[in-house]
Amino acid sequence: MKPGQCLADIFCGCGPLAVRAARKGLYVIANDLNPYGYEYLAHNAQLNKVSQKMLCYNMCARAVMRKLYAEKS
């Protein structure tokens, strides 16, 4: 993928792929249902200084996709 594109990682855990993609210049939508995974995802985004390039959710993947689709329309 190229900088400026968007990546949706809806089962991201603590975010190894999501954070790395954001560091490469992509906009990332990251989600994990596990509250501990989400906590570490947000922490990793902050540590790697990519919080501004990431939207982090702690929701069911189906709910995230519905939310994204509703915002697009």
Say which CATH number the domain at 19 has.
3.40.50.150
Q: What's the rounded Cα separation, in Å, for the pair 46 and 1?
A: 22
Strands (DSSP E) contained in the chain are: 6-9, 27-31, 54-57
Residue 73 predicted with pLDDT over 70: no
- Cβ burial of 42 (10 Å; 0-12, 13-18, 19+) is middle
Per-residue model confidence as pLDDT tens digits over 24-49: 999 999 999 999 999 999 999 999 99
pLDDT of 71 reads: 85
List the one residue out of 12, 13, 25, 9 whose CA is nearest residue 68.
Answer: 9
Residue 1 lies in a domain: no
Domain of residue 55: give its range. Answer: 6-72
Domain count, the chain: 1
pLDDT of 72 reads: 77
Residue 32 lies in a domain: yes
